[in-house]
Amino acid sequence: MHELLNTIYTLDLAPFALSFKLATITTLILFVVALPLAWQLSQSPSKVKPIIESLVSLPLVLPPSVLGFYLLVAFSSFDLAFTFKGLVVASCFYSLPFMVQPLQGGFESLNKNMIESSYIAGKNKWVTLFRVALPNIKPALMTALIITFAHTVGEFGVVLMIGGSIPDETRVASIAIYDLMNNLEYGKAHIYSAIMLLISFAVLLSVYIFNHKQKYFKGVRA
């Protein structure tokens, strides 16, 4: 017991801080990039749409090592390998579908006539996006933001290939657990893993509670 408390007191929380910093920055960048992309995809009847959709969804099916390999090749000329910036760029590619898909799905489920009413009222695509479309897809927006955040926190393969394990630079929580395992420090690995498990569960729970409330209150609010 004493040993456990001691381990908790001396626990290095830097990998968690780094994970959250990476996830926050990635989520913000992806929101800015994915919002117009998802909006255009949802409104476009274009023939190239399936090609763009496939490209966006690639990270869902590609082995992280394939993405990591190509990114490393690309990074060699930009000095980004094994840096925090490199991790941010890699995470943006890797988590792109988690931001785009819920937003696009939300936009596509909107009443078409509501969007058209905004055009008829003389508003352009962007005013319509920010004042009509986005405020009406709050559950999808919430899902996109939180799942992107959580997915970035949970990244492992790509981060390992791109960033390695440099303390305070690229050593995020998932990598730290892997290192602890390799060093046979099971006590710490247990605690790190438990923290990750709890945080992931809390994040998902908050999304589902929020979306449940949105649906429920939409029906009964007077």
When binding is defined by CB under 8 A, the residue of 19, 118, 148, 174 that contacts other proteins is: 118
Site for other proteins in 123-162 (CB under 8 A): 123-124, 131-132, 135-136
* Residue closer to other proteins, measured from CB, 70 or 119: 119
Q: CB–CB of 90/68 below 8 Å?
A: yes
Per CB under 8 A, 184 contacts other proteins: no
Per CB under 8 A, 117 contacts other proteins: yes
Distances, alpha carbon 4 to alpha carbons 11, 187, 191, 214, in Å:
10, 8, 9, 42
Per CB under 8 A, 111 contacts other proteins: yes
Per CB under 8 A, 47 contacts other proteins: no
When binding is defined by CB under 8 A, the residue of 73, 121, 197, 198 that contacts other proteins is: 121
Q: Least distance in Å: CB of 32 to other proteins?
A: 22
Per CB under 8 A, 222 contacts other proteins: yes
Q: How many residues bind other proteins (CB under 8 A)?
A: 21
Per CB under 8 A, 215 contacts other proteins: no
Applying CB under 8 A, which residues contact other proteins?
111-114, 116-124, 131-132, 135-136, 218-219, 221-222
